[in-house]
Amino acid sequence: MSHILTLIAPAGNLQAPLVARVRAALLDLGGQPGAPDWLAKEEAADLPFSLLAPEQAVAAARGVLEGAPVDCIAQPAEGRRKQLLVADMDSTIVTAETLDELAAYAGVQDKIAAITQRSMNGEIDFATSLRERVAMIKGLTLTALEETWTKIELMPGAEVLVRTMAAHGAHCAIASGGFTWFTSRVAERVGFQSHHANILLDDGTALTGFVEEPVFDRDAKLTILKKLAAELGLPLSATAAVGDGANDLAMLGAAGLGVAFRAKPVVAASARARVDFADLRALLFAQGYRSSDFAA
């Protein structure tokens, strides 16, 4: 079979009759679907198919799922397993927007969160909005950064995703519009081999209200994806990227597997693959990993 449709749901939500209905829909369209291959019981299954475009298979699956909490990712069968992962950090690898969390200490959380939301929706320029938000936390002590870090939580499935891919020889990198102060700590905690983000400037005790130029934005994320792929001798088809905001769109579009994860509407509408219900282990299932392959 030339392509594979992967169905992924929160554990216990993918039942055999539902998979059978999706298979029947592919059959009705002439997709010549094969038998389902279960990657994890009641959680993930592959349906091989031919003679349909990936977007046709996804549309057919969503049509019969009727709102069930199941994610659908279709792609060519060849080259599913990726050797480079580039991931956004805020609201992707961690559950929060770290700049918004810092803003709480400066008493400007609502103002900064509103700007962040508009930026992630693609309504305003990211670099301009970042400079504006950082200026609003001028004078915040480095102790506040430490206290913020203690409250940061990982997105479910983040560590399993990274450590499993790394264990199978992939390079895993963070590319974040956030700050190296946090990406360095997340990288160490989760198992990323490299991290790339903005640098917050301070005077040794407090923030100056500036970031080091140039701002690490959507173009920089795309550049990092291409740079790392070139250094590793990989075509972009052998790469995966994941993110949720408008500044992730360029790298998601360029990666062989670009996944919009619980993304803003403009991102979900544009990405070739999206995960709305499952956790980050969905990226492993999409690559054909079985749950028995996952790193502890």
- Given the residues 71, 88, 100, 217, select the one marked as catalytic: 88
How many whole angstroms separate alpha carbon 240 and alpha carbon 223? 14
Angle (deg, nearest 10), helices 126-135 and 98-106 = 30
Q: Among candidates 76, 281, 27, which has minimal Cα distance to 162? A: 281
How many whole angstroms separate alpha carbon 43 and alpha carbon 185? 31
Q: Among candidates 6, 60, 53, which has minimal Cα distance to 28? A: 60
How many whole angstroms separate alpha carbon 76 and alpha carbon 5? 9
Cis, peptide link before residue 214, omega less than 30° from 0: yes
- Given the residues 37, 46, 71, 90, select the one marked as catalytic: 90
Identify whether 88 is a catalytic site residue.
Answer: yes
Q: Which amino acid is at 124?
A: I
Q: Which amino acid is at 163?
A: R
* HSE, side-chain direction, 13 A CA sphere, residue 11: 7
Q: Alpha helix locations (H) across the chain?
A: 16-28, 54-65, 98-106, 109-120, 126-135, 142-151, 158-167, 180-190, 218-232, 249-254, 265-270, 282-286
Identify whether 90 is a catalytic site residue.
Answer: yes
How many whole angstroms separate alpha carbon 132 and alpha carbon 128? 6
Between the CA atoms of 204, 207, 210 and 214, what dihedral angle is there, to the nearest 10 degrees?
A: 60
Residue 259: enclosing H or E segment and its boundaries?
Answer: strand 257-261
Q: Which amino acid is at 58?
A: V
Across-strand partners of 242?
A: 87, 259
Residues identified as active-site: 88, 90
